[in-house]
Structure 1
Amino acid sequence: MNDSQVTNLPDHTLPQDILVHILSLLPAKSIGRFRCVSKPWKSLLSHPHFIKTHLNRTKQLLGEDEASLIFVSNDSGLLYSTQLKYTHHMFDEITTFATKLCFDNHRFRSYHVFNMVSCDGLVLLNDEENKFLLINPTTREFKELPTSPYALDRHLSNTISGLGYDSVNDDYKVVTSEMFVNVYSVRNGTWERADSSPYDHDVGYRFSPGTFVNGCIHWLGVRLSDASSVIAALDLGEGKFGEVSIPSWVVGDREFAFNHLVELGGFLCWYPASLLATGNTTDVYMMKEYGVMDSWTKFTISHSEPISLRPLCLLGKKQLVLVENEGCIGEKLVMCNLSGGSSKDIAVHGIADDFSVGGSFMESLVSPHCTTEAVTEC
């Protein structure tokens, strides 16, 4: 059943459960049009139950194949997005077209989008005034988070952020780590201070955002009690800290510090992120079974020059989308075939000037307000 056939259905022709089942199979962007069919449809398709059903079906049926990317214009400070499934393959290059995203007068810079994090279609990032924004690039909704009453002076501290879903309380949570760890409940709109972290999260030459996997937000850290290098994990449901086993190949603090964590295909991954990296291959390690040290598995990315890589997302099991940074040459968006070792550059059209690549997100209907009705223009 295509979009036009569904739109022409009168409200009374299908039982509600069948209608929900059919519409939950459609892309998130299509749902906005169907909310305009009638008031009953708008009420049905804006209900939290439908939004959650649509999210779960998207994860089950489409998964990482539906990944989208966010960019920022280095001139205007505006955000753009593109869906990777709409790329066009031409010989050695892939082309895609970006769409402008407007969030009132908020503007962004490259160092803000580098540290963006996403969960279930929601994206957390800072604007140029260093305000936290929680946005849904698909529905164009956004929420400016209130300043935490526990926050330190932003000029005197470094804030490491994270975003994840608390399945115990059915809530999305924003986590910031400075001297203390603060947690923002999206549903309640309130900040709370978590139990004191037993770790120093300020590890490495660049402060990386937390990585959400398996209900926990993860950071590279140092255990305060004995200065050991660890992967710290904050369980959002329990609000408690734990640790994830470090890959056995880590041999020293220097090697540990010059790495980053990332979520790829639902798995926790570890990759080198230093411009000091040399050689023509980069090893990425993936934890295939969460919490099991022996399940760390290596895959290798080949490249022609010594570069630093920033993995963004997996498409299926074989295609990895990443950013290559060649120093003075700048960034390049690339799609790699992990089985064959081949790669293609991705050319992005629709952005008039120079841009920087942020990160990936999935398209969903989840509201950054966690309200019963999403804001969608007809």
Structure 2
Amino acid sequence: MSANQVTYGFCYSEVSREYKVLRLVVREQIHISELKIYTLGVGEKWRNVGEVPCPTRYNFCQVIVNGALHWIHNEDDDRIYSFDIESEMIKSLPAPPGLETPLCALKILEVGNCLCLTYNNIRRFAKTDIQLMKEYGVAESWIKDTILVNSIPRNFRQCNLNPILIWKEGQILIQSYRSLDSYRPESKRFI
């Protein structure tokens, strides 16, 4: 009997106005992943989309950008994967060029309707890296910002920094465990 990992995702179609539940079953011993979809209120069965070449092992990130649900493979891989909510197709997107940190160690987010990757390593390297894909699907559109520990407010230094949104003149609203603060990429300072 093979060990299976089951992962669920949830998304909403703006076009059809339907909610969809995704179920990815990773069959460990035979290295196959199957994606099934259940559309709430439509039929009573899971539909099989087929085998997935890019399994996720523990969770779908609930990151929706450009009409697609995104995730990172939890093993060494240099691609970001997406499930197009309308076409129900799985695609891959390029990781940032010259990425120093393995993609599986990064956290994927949606910030300002852009894909965002963060790597919090304040304790070891005294910095947090933020990468934004400014033009969806274009590898050359990734931009990187490094927040150095000496610019981070003291109440943020013991926590992971999570970008939430881009607002007022390109400032990035960043959340830590108990605080919110605004970061200015051009001056490399919190305000």
Q: TM-score range by the shorter chain?
A: 0.7 to 0.9
More helix by share: 1
- The structure 1 residue matched to 2:144, chosen from 273, 287, 298, is 298
- The structure 2 residue matched to 1:262, chosen from 109, 119, 125, is 109
> For 1:232, what is the secondary structure of its paired residue?
strand
Q: What's 1:243 paired with?
A: 92
> For 1:278, what is the secondary structure of its paired residue?
helix
5+ unaligned residues in a row in structure 2: which ranges? 27-33
- Aligned partners of 2:132, 2:5: CA distance in 1, in Å? 31
> For 1:159, what is the secondary structure of its paired residue?
strand
Q: How far apart are residue 243 of structure 1 and its match?
A: 0.7
> For 1:257, what is the secondary structure of its paired residue?
helix
Once the two structures are aligned, what percentage of the paired residues are identical?
22
Q: What's 2:48 paired with?
A: 193
Q: What's 1:152 paired with?
A: none
Deviations 1:276-303 (A, max 9, x none): 8533331211101111000001233342
> For 2:137, what is the secondary structure of its paired residue?
coil
Structure 1 runs of 4+ aligned residues shifted over 4 Å read none
Task: Say if 2:175 is the partner of 1:322.
Answer: yes
Q: What's 2:11 paired with?
A: 163
Residues 310 and 321 from structure 1, CA distance in 2 versus in 1: closer, same or farther, beyond 3 angstroms? closer
Q: How far apart are residue 234 of structure 1 and its match?
A: 1.2
Q: How far apart are residue 157 of structure 1 and its match?
A: 3.4
- Aligned partners of 1:193, 1:245: CA distance in 2, in Å? 26
Q: How far apart are residue 269 of structure 1 and its match?
A: 0.8
> For 1:177, what is the secondary structure of its paired residue?
strand
- Aligned partners of 1:166, 1:196: CA distance in 2, in Å? 26
> For 1:289, what is the secondary structure of its paired residue?
coil
Q: What's 1:19 paired with?
A: none
Q: How far apart are residue 236 of structure 1 and its match?
A: 1.5
- Aligned partners of 1:277, 1:255: CA distance in 2, in Å? 18
- Aligned partners of 2:77, 2:43: CA distance in 1, in Å? 36
Query: What letter matches 1:245 in structure 2?
Result: P
The 5 Å alignment of 1:115-126 reads none
More strand by share: 2
Q: What's 1:332 paired with?
A: 178
Residues 235 and 318 from structure 1, CA distance in 2 versus in 1: closer, same or farther, beyond 3 angstroms? same
334-343 or 258-267: which moved more?
A: 334-343
Deviations 1:164-198 (A, max 9, x none): 4253x343323233323232323527543322211
Preserved CA contact (<8 Å) 1:315 1:321? no
- Aligned partners of 1:176, 1:234: CA distance in 2, in Å? 12
Task: Say if 2:118 is the partner of 1:271.
Answer: yes
Residues 244 and 186 from structure 1, CA distance in 2 versus in 1: closer, same or farther, beyond 3 angstroms? same
Query: What letter matches 2:69 in structure 1?
Result: I
- TM-score between the two structures when normalised by the length of structure 1: 0.40
- Aligned partners of 1:267, 1:256: CA distance in 2, in Å? 17
Q: How far apart are residue 271 of structure 1 and its match?
A: 0.9
Query: What letter matches 1:193 in structure 2?
Result: N
Q: How many residues align?
A: 172
Deviations 1:249-294 (A, max 9, x none): 224xx62211011111111111115x68533331211101111000
- Aligned partners of 1:219, 1:277: CA distance in 2, in Å? 26
Preserved CA contact (<8 Å) 1:160 1:210? no
- TM-score between the two structures when normalised by the length of structure 2: 0.73
- Aligned partners of 1:244, 1:172: CA distance in 2, in Å? 24
Residues 284 and 216 from structure 1, CA distance in 2 versus in 1: closer, same or farther, beyond 3 angstroms? same
Q: How far apart are residue 235 of structure 1 and its match?
A: 1.3
Structure with max Cα Rg: 1
Preserved CA contact (<8 Å) 2:77 2:104? no
Tell me: higher relative CO, structure 1 or 2? Use CA pairs within 8 A at least 6 residues apart.
1
Q: What's 2:30 paired with?
A: none
